[in-house]
Structure 1
Amino acid sequence: MIWLQTKKSFVVIMGAFLVAISMNLFLIPANVYSSGFAGVAQLLSKVISEYTPLHISMGYLLLLLNIPVAILGWKKVGKSFTLYSFLSVVFSTFFLEIIPIKHVAHDLLLNAVFGGVILAIGVGFTLKWGASTGGLDIIAMVLSRQKDKPVGNYMFILNGIIILTAGYLYGWEKALYTLVTLYTSTRVIDAIHTRHEKLTALIITRKGEELRKAIHSKLVRGITAIPAKGAYTNESKDLLMIVITRYELFDLERIIKEVDPKAFTNLIETTNVVGFFRRD
């Protein structure tokens, strides 16, 4: 268990390091903007520096923006997910402060593409290990667990505001390159880990009741228990059916491995869910 937590922490910290590399060596020097709260912090830092006597670094702004979201996630999502997500934000702030801002390439397109790819690798592997980089990812989890509403519209609105503000203040060419970064990062993240995809897990186990209690202790999801029988052995077993998001797959796999390593699990991509799929 400790080894697993250590590996997860290492992945989260490395993800934060890649996010900071992307920002300080590619996106910030080129005035190309990231998506989500990172983009908001990046834009706010530049606006405050240019239009006021103050200077607040992007790293500190990113941390400040994530504090209320972390409190929301702690109350609505769960301690583990929120702790690792906030760990990612803290280390992102740390790396953003210690890595110097400098040009690696002077071509805007190269900065937009490579910045987006490096950022997406960091975010994608963080998500794959059951954490997030904070901000909209935590909001997505809250919406998913409470109302099962897609966060795509909210992300589109926020990113649209970032692009329009950047275009208005610093030229529409920079806004178009920001679109290149958003498209590149989205494609790479989807290749590593699809954020809002739902999965149906069919679990055949000899420890149905024990596994059901373990899943309910970690995930706020309804489970349907179906009596099953092995066709070859004629042995009675339990078939547990549960619909989860990709965010929760890491936790589900870990629970199954701990409770019944011999369980057979079939994961099916779910295209649509009608009604709530959380546990009431």
Structure 2
Amino acid sequence: MVLLLWLQTKKIVIVIVGAFLNALAINFFLVPANVYSSGFTGIAQLLSKVLTDQTPFTISMGILLLLLNIPVAILGWFKVGKSFTVYSFLSVVLSSFFLEMIPITQVSKDILLNSVFGGVILAVGVGLTLKWGASTGGLDIIAMVLSRMKDRPIGNYIFTLNSLIIITAGFLYGWEKALYTIVSLYATTRVIDAIHTRHAKLTAMIITKKAEELKTAIHSKLVRGITMVPAKGAFSNESRDMLMIVITRYELFDLERIIKEVDPNAFTNILQTTGIYGFFRRE
């Protein structure tokens, strides 16, 4: 119970830090340079500028980000998972709050520096959030739902939706800004991949002496099949069991937490899974 409370507290702290870094990158680097972010943050940034420039109405980016994510959070609650959606929406609320609190400040007049540093800082925030079993909401949740409906990689949908943002920004405010947006998105993608696994599915191989307890704990949290294989330590000659389970990257945090609670001494090897043939639950 103490370990569970500690992990939940740490996860909330990570989500707060991630949201703060997102807002910092946007208000200090991307907005002053008119370079657009990815996902719903970029949509909110673009809509806020269009409303300000083209209409008598002005709605802040933080408010738009929150409003756009409300229907997506409802969708994620039913289609992705309750815990994942709750933490993702918390990240959105905190990002909206920090976007309102942090003043827009021009750190550099160099648009390339703004694009790169904004993309990197944003990626650190997003990567930490993803690594701890949440997301920054919006596009990530929509891409996951579409991927499960059509059984196509999540990255394809993220790329397509981000491309629409870039094309719209270029059409409305000049293609130079759109090209710098691509630079920012590239930096963001590379850093996220360094922090958080980019692979949609992973295979966990767990060597443990508490196979039954671990199997029960995993099944209580994750709806995934487990293959159990007898194993023996080559040095100690002690009998153990190996549990093999295929999960999505968003379930990795929950699996790590379960292993630490049930058998902290278990040896776990996480492998990238490039393809799956046969039944794999997508709901």
Partner of 1:122: 125
Partner-residue secondary structure (3-state), 2:277: coil
When residues 26 and 109 of structure 1 are mapped into structure 2, their CA distance, relative to the original with a 3 A threshold, is: same
CA deviation after TM superposition for structure 1 residue 226, in Å: 2.4
CA deviation after TM superposition for structure 1 residue 110, in Å: 1.0
1:217 correspondence with 2:223: no
Give aligned-pair identity as a percent: 76
Q: How many residues align?
A: 280
Counterpart CA distance in 1 for 2:231 and 2:30 is 54
Partner of 1:18: 21
Aligned AA (2:31): I
CA deviation after TM superposition for structure 1 residue 165, in Å: 0.8
1:113 correspondence with 2:116: yes
TM (norm. structure 1) is 0.93
**Which of 25, 45, 50 lines up with 2:48 in the alignment?**
45
Partner of 1:57: 60
1:77 correspondence with 2:80: yes
Partner of 2:198: 195
1:163 correspondence with 2:166: yes
Structure 2 matches for 1:73-152, cutoff 5 A?
73-142=76-145, 148-152=151-155
Higher mean C-alpha deviation, range 207-216 or range 99-108: 207-216
Does the aligned pair in 2 maintain the 1:145–1:278 contact within 8 Å?
Answer: no
Partner-residue secondary structure (3-state), 1:194: coil
Aligned AA (1:260): D
Moved over 6 A (4+): none
Partner of 1:180: 183
Higher mean C-alpha deviation, range 156-165 or range 69-78: 69-78
CA deviation after TM superposition for structure 1 residue 235, in Å: 4.6
Counterpart CA distance in 2 for 1:52 and 1:279 is 43
Partner of 2:242: 239
The RMSD of aligned alpha carbons is 2.0
Counterpart CA distance in 2 for 1:151 and 1:193 is 15
Does the aligned pair in 2 maintain the 1:204–1:240 contact within 8 Å?
Answer: yes
CA deviation after TM superposition for structure 1 residue 220, in Å: 2.5
Partner of 2:34: 31
Where does the alignment leave 5 or more consecutive residues of structure 2 unmatched? Answer: none
CA deviation after TM superposition for structure 1 residue 207, in Å: 2.3
Aligned AA (2:110): D
Aligned AA (2:117): F
When residues 91 and 262 of structure 1 are mapped into structure 2, their CA distance, relative to the original with a 3 A threshold, is: same
TM (norm. structure 2) is 0.92
Aligned AA (1:44): L
Does the aligned pair in 1 maintain the 2:208–2:267 contact within 8 Å?
Answer: yes
Partner of 2:71: 68
> What are the Cα deviations for residues 234-272 of structure 1, in whole angstroms up to 9, with x where unaligned?
554332110122222221111011112222222222222
Partner of 1:4: 7
Does the aligned pair in 1 maintain the 2:143–2:158 contact within 8 Å?
Answer: no
Higher mean C-alpha deviation, range 150-159 or range 7-16: 150-159
> What are the Cα deviations for residues 57-113 of structure 1, in whole angstroms up to 9, with x where unaligned?
111111111111111222222222111111110000000001111211111111111
CA deviation after TM superposition for structure 1 residue 210, in Å: 2.1
**Which of 201, 226, 229 lines up with 1:226 in the alignment?**
229
CA deviation after TM superposition for structure 1 residue 195, in Å: 3.5
CA deviation after TM superposition for structure 1 residue 146, in Å: 6.4
Partner-residue secondary structure (3-state), 1:130: coil
Higher mean C-alpha deviation, range 261-270 or range 6-15: 261-270
Does the aligned pair in 2 maintain the 1:150–1:196 contact within 8 Å?
Answer: no
